[in-house]
Structure 1
Amino acid sequence: MELIEHFFFNLSLLIVLLFFSMLWVERAESLRTIQIIATVYIIASLLLCFVFTHRIEGHDVILDLRKIPFIIGGLYIGLGPLLASLTIIVRSFYGIDTGFWLTIFFYGSLAILFWRISPWFLKLSSKKRILFSVSVSFLFSFVQSFPLGFADMNQFDVWFSYLFIQPLGVGVIAYFIEEIYKTIQLRLHVVKLKRLETVEQMGAAICHEIRNPLTAAIGFVQLLQDESISRESRVQYISILRNELKSAEQVIQNYLTFSKPEIELVEPLIVHEELQQIIQSLQVLANRNSVHIITNYSYTGAIEGDSQKFHQCFVNIMKNAIEAMPNGGVLTVETMSTSSNMTILVQDTGAGMTAEQLNRLGEPYYSTKGEKGTGLGIMVVYSIVHAMNGRIHVESELGVGTRFEFTFPSSPTLFEQNEIHKNMSVLVMSG
């Protein structure tokens, strides 16, 4: 029973090593990494089998479970030649004897065989691969154990160890490999479905956003075809038609900005001047919602970026903030600057968001406005800020409001120039 106990202990170590390899695979992010993990496992298992060899006293015979990793690695990964070379090299350290020459013949032949049939083997179904692996293990175990039956050894130990434990080990490891493969395939399938779902949501969002202004535009085009309408009505309809087409154009621009957020035009931006222009353009909307806008600027702040995209980003943020206060409120816009960073704070006293909504903010096509929103605007905000090497931090509380904090790298040259201008202004006033 000594050989049986030895083999069972060795097999348990191989299974424990397989368990840790499976945990490693779960964290892998690419198929290439998974292939590397599988190769490391097979080589480590082969070396582990050599560590726990069992030498028969009075015979040049070394018994171990090296065929288990050899068969698995040769069939599943196509590592037959590599594993055969490693087996022969390690076996040479135990002595150049009859067993060594038999190892060269036996594993060299198997290496060539497995290398040739591995592509065919991988095309089989999962059950057939497991069955084939176990059958191969049983066949070669029988061939290897048959001469040992004539040696001065416990016959039950030999036959049970080779004809049961080794095929069992191959079957167990092959089964786990198949399950890991199914898990990987399922993960890739889920990722593919999520991508398709994102594309579907994107298409639905764009269609929804464009359909509304185009439907209105078509209606006014039909009204303009009526020759009996007055000149004043015609001018009014053309103005509305132009605004609706601009809305459709803005949706397309938002999508293009999200899909290609690179900043193509880099120019110096005096932040408080840019923000003031944005606030002026939204003043009508703020008055309509009874929103009072408070500003507190640091007049020394400057960054580098695209003025048009900067406006697009903060128009979206401030417009959302104003719309979050339909019954009135306060919108606060502040800036703080240092020699390294420019911080912009946009805070409202609106409805606020739940923790779940806050965590999902910025996800593709997720909107806190329900069916009325598409989430495209906030996606554009995140894309632009990241393209300008900025960061976003959001805090929100239901019934209290939401606070956006944007941090951008300062432009050192512009910061120094603004400091000089500020100091000169102070000196002139003092004089």
Structure 2
Amino acid sequence: MQIISELAASVAHEVRNPLQVTRGFLQLLNVNTTEKTKKYLSLALDELDRASDIITDFLTFAKPQLDHVAKLHLATEMKHIEGVLLPLTNLQGGEIVSNIPNDLYIKGNSAKFKQALINIIKNSIESLRGKGQIRISALKERNDVVIVIRDNGEGMDEATVAKLGQPYFSTKTKGTGLGLMVTFRIIEVMNGSIHFSSELGVGTEVIIRIPFVQDERIDV
């Protein structure tokens, strides 16, 4: 894993440099050009950004160590996540209903935790049909914080659920599968677990368990 991490960091750095240079020149060309050409340049910029996102996911998967670990207030974290995803939810015609108690705390890196949850909830949003709903709840169960995300979207069959988190498996046309791989890795590094259950035409449920934090002090 150490070798993979070092290789991932090296590849990400070497590939990002030409991507950034290319993106800069495309932006310059986009200033003084025809509307038809702008359309093509816009598509090229979108694909460059997608390539950059894939590199970021690859790097996070290979090196998911959580720097800047802190005590996270779950209700606050979830409020930020909902704010980020609200435009996409509205676009899909759905809604997010959440019930997060105010006394739940976990240990982790805020940015990485948000990334993991956004990956999951975004998949739920994209699976909604018309005015669908995503329900997010949390509770303390023994020594764990249990986060439950349910949607009434398209759902998946057992074979598809079994493949979630595998390299390069995705239900999306342009998907790489790295998003859920990253999510699994982040939750794993947080000493947690994640479980998917789904039924076609009914929806999907995701249950995440992460150790509950009581002590104000966190030893990193």
TM-score by length of 1: 0.41
- Please, which of 112, 130, 134 is the counterpart of residue 309 of structure 1? 112
- As a proportion of its length, which structure holds more strand? 2
Matched, 1:372 2:179: no
Higher relative contact order (CA 8 A, sep 6+): 2
What is the aligned partner in structure 2 of residue 131 from structure 1? none
1:351 equivalent in structure 2 = 154
Aligned to 1:413: 215
**What pairs up with 1:21-420 in 2 under 5 angstroms?**
221-226=28-33, 247-338=50-141, 340-369=143-172, 371-414=173-216
Q: After superposition, give the CA deviation of every residue in 1:221-249 in whole Å (9 maximum; x if it has no partner).
A: 433243x89xxxx9xxx999987765443
Q: Are the aligned partners of 2:23 and 2:48 in contact in 1 as well (CA < 8 Å)?
A: no
The offset of 1:373, in angstroms, is: 1.3
Q: Deviations over 1:282-310 (max 9, x none)?
A: 10000000111101112111001011100
Structure 1: which 5+ runs fail to align?
A: 1-202, 208-213, 415-431
Cα distance, 1:336–1:240 mapped onto 2, change above 3 Å: farther
> TM-score scaled by structure 2?
0.78
Q: Could you tell me how far apart the structure 1 residues matched to 2:61 and 2:99 are?
A: 30
Deviations 1:15-69 (A, max 9, x none): xxxxxxxxxxxxxxxxxxxxxxxxxxxxxxxxxxxxxxxxxxxxxxxxxxxxxxx
Deviations along 1:399-431, whole A, 9 cap, x unmatched? 0100000000011225xxxxxxxxxxxxxxxxx
3-state SS of the aligned residue for 2:201? coil
Q: CA deviation at 1:368?
A: 1.7
Compared CA separation, residues 360 and 244, structure 1 to 2 (3 A): closer
Q: 1:109-164: CA deviations, max 9, x gaps?
A: xxxxxxxxxxxxxxxxxxxxxxxxxxxxxxxxxxxxxxxxxxxxxxxxxxxxxxxx
Q: Which has the higher helix share?
A: 1
Gap change, CA 1:221 and 1:399, over 3 Å in 2 = farther
Equivalent pair of 1:270/1:302 in contact (CA under 8 Å): yes
2:166 is paired with a residue whose SS is coil
* Structure 1 residues 281 and 377: alpha-carbon distance in aligned structure 2, compared to 1, 3 A threshold: same
User: What letter is aligned with 2:210?
Assistant: F
